[in-house]
Amino acid sequence: MINQEIAKILYEIFVFMDMDDVQFKPRAFEKAALTIEDMSEDLGQIYKEKGIKGLMEIPTIGRGIASYIEEYIKTGKVKEYERLKKKFPVDLENLKKVEGLGPKGIKFLYKKLKIRNLQELEKYAKAGKLRNFEGWGEKKEQNILKGLEFIKLGSGRQSLGSVLPLIEDIKKKLEKLKDVKKVVIAGSIRRWKETVGDADILVIADNYKEIMDYFTSMPEIGKVYGKGETKSTIKLKSGMDVDLRIVPEKSYGAALNYFTGSKEHNVALRQIAKDKGLKLNEWGLFRKEKFIGGRTEEELYKLLGLRYIEPELRESFGQEIEAARNNKLPNLVELKDLKGDLQTQTSWTDGSNSIKEMADYAKKIGLKYIVITDHTKALAMTGGLNGKRILEQGKEIDKLNNEMKDFKILKGTECDILKNGDLDIEDDVLKKLDVVGISVHSLFNMPKEEMTKRICKAMRNENADILFHPTGRRINIRKAYEVDIDEVIKTAKQTKTILEIDGTPDRLDLKEDHIKKAIKNNVKLCIDSDSHNIKQFDFLKFGIGIARRGWSEKKDIINTLDYREMLKNLK
């Protein structure tokens, strides 16, 4: 569906035209944008079937706007939009996120102070330069600063790892309330999306008032947007918006499906229902006005003629619906399938726990083995190990293995890839290890071609078993370095190098589309916690989440095997 992109373009044309003092036209673009946002039908499909006349049949869309939509469908661009963006270099997408700052305010600030982005807005607000304008004043200026602070806290979208613990805690508190029968987290959190814009919680309960009273008075709250009998919306102090909905037991499955999303997946399901002469919404599946299903999600999919689709797959890139129709959905990997963790750091470098403490805890949570992969000497700030120290660590591991029962500690390293693609540790030392992980920790700004050559050269080392966090991204912290991922995957296949799915919540690297490419090319993967203390073994669940979004099955992940079989998959 291209509706959202087109709606965004039309809305921004509306604002830019208003800035350009164009009379009469702008409001039409705003109305068209709002119409398109709420549409379930795909504009691309409408145009394919009926051409520009089909677009003009949509309320609020006349010939002029229809021609812009046609231009975007054909070229992926709208020339008028590109022209206006150059004339008014304003970051509308982020500025409009500031609470209380609408199109008129954005226009005013640009005309008066040439404010183009959040940084400039903050600069002028902190300097007290907004309050002197009529209709603004000190209070509005302070509200702008508070709005900016919320955006900073939330960064627009927060990483799943920063959101999930807080939302799970709220869920547990709600579950303890009297008359609550069920509480479930829906939305992008349930789909294990790497970043979260807001959170949705659904409740089945009898006593509505007590639940809403509690929810809207929690100490975690920064602001209450609205409180109703069956729906309330709050902003947490962390910057996250949370919706709580109380739904009837009869409609639970339909509501859970609807509020889990994605929006595109829901649109696809509604179209399937429509094709069958049915109507699907958050209340259930209906034939005319008669309720025929929706108590569970499984029932809903069955009535639509589909296999049950796991939440992580519901992104409507098209594949999941077709796969469900043809009984070709993957049997997704689960947390319980993991037998080992192939990247763990200890107090020998920058970890907090000893090798024994890491091993004991891993065994306690059900793992059968771990690989100790402390950093190497190039990463001096972590106290990285040289070859001699790595061999000394190996002796301690041998001693611990003699003492442990039903658990294996494997010798490994997270060996730095140097600028020229060489590895930081001598080959004669690497040969003595069970598992050699390699990774980039420096010179992130290398040109794409050079970075790709650097990584691929390292992968061709006969001792290099696993490429750790292959693209180096840190979500909301640092962009991935420029690298040709297709070439990396090709080299991984040629050299039998395993690609890692790093479960650290601000990494989740590989990301889902790269995982799909790797699987398509028969490249094996592993899911690791990259834990630096015993509590971070919990990161494995985030790795599982992103792996499932990438359609990973148990057979794709080498650490679902026992350690002997896992080692056979390495070079």
Residues 41 and 105 in one domain: no
The CATH number of whichever domain residue 141 belongs to comes to: 1.10.150.20
Tokens linked to 66: 């229809």
**Residue 194 sits in a domain of what CATH number?**
3.30.460.10
Rounded-to-integer distance, Cα 467 and Cα 547, Å: 16
Q: Are residues 355 and 412 in the same domain?
A: yes
**Measured CA angle at 556 (ends 551, 557), to 5 deg:** 110
> What is the token pair recorded at 507?
């990494």
pTM over 0.85: no
**Which of 197, 217, 246 represents a domain boundary (last residue)?**
246
CATH number of the domain at 70, please.
1.10.150.110
Last residue of a domain, one of 40, 70, 88: 88
Give the residue carrying structure tokens 């859970």.
256
The confidence score (pLDDT) of residue 154 equals 47
In a domain, 433, yes or no: yes
Q: Are 32 and 49 part of one and the same domain?
A: yes
pLDDT at 350: 86
Are 539 and 464 members of one domain?
yes
Tell me, yes or no, whether 330 lies in a domain.
no
**What pLDDT, on the 0 to 100 scale, is given for residue 291?**
95
CA distances from 21 to 32, 62, 106, 213, 435 (A): 19, 21, 14, 47, 65
CB 266 within 8 A of CB 309: no
Q: Is the peptide bond before 262 cis (omega within 30 degrees of 0)?
A: yes
pLDDT recorded at residue 456: 98
Mark whether 399 and 389 lie in a shared domain. yes
Whether residue 30 is contained in a domain is answered as yes
In the chain, the number of structural domains is 5
Q: What is the CATH number of the domain that holds 487?
A: 3.20.20.140
Q: What is the mean pLDDT of each run of 10 residues along the chain (571 residues)?
A: 77 84 76 70 84 86 90 89 88 77 83 87 85 81 77 69 88 92 96 94 91 91 90 88 94 96 93 95 93 95 96 86 93 98 94 92 97 92 89 97 95 97 96 97 91 98 97 81 96 98 94 96 97 91 97 98 97 90
Same structural domain, 431 and 526: yes
Same-domain status, 348 and 378: yes
CATH number at residue 263: 3.30.210.10
Domain holding 110, by residue range, is 90-154
Q: What is the DSSP letter of 376?
A: B
Same domain for 94 and 83? no
For residue 496, is it within any domain? yes
Question: Domain end: 136, 154, 172, which one?
Answer: 154
**Domain presence at residue 450:** yes
Buried b (16+ CB within 10 A) or exposed e, 453-487: bbbbbbbebebbbbbbbbbbbbbeeeebbbbbbee
Query: What does the block give as tokens for 215?
Result: 């929810």
Structural element, H or E, at residue 344: strand 340-344
Regarding whether 259 and 228 lie in a shared domain, the answer is no
Dump strand ranges (E) for 142-230.
158-159, 180-185, 195-196, 198-205, 221-227
CA trace torsion 373, 374, 380, 386 (10° rounding): -90
45 & 137 share domain:
no
Close Cβ partners of 210 (under 8 Å, ≥ 6 residues apart): 177, 178, 179
Residue 403 lies in a domain: yes
Within a domain: residue 340?
yes
Nearest by Cα to 413 from 442, 391, 444? 391
- Strands lying side by side in the sheet with 221-227: 180-185, 198-205, 241-246, 231-236, 221-227
User: Within this chain, do residues 407 and 439 fall inside the same structural domain, yes or no?
Assistant: yes
Q: How far apart, in whole angstroms, are the C-alpha atoms of residue 313 and residue 262?
A: 9
* Token pair recorded at residue 398: 């041998």
380 and 438 belong to one structural domain: yes
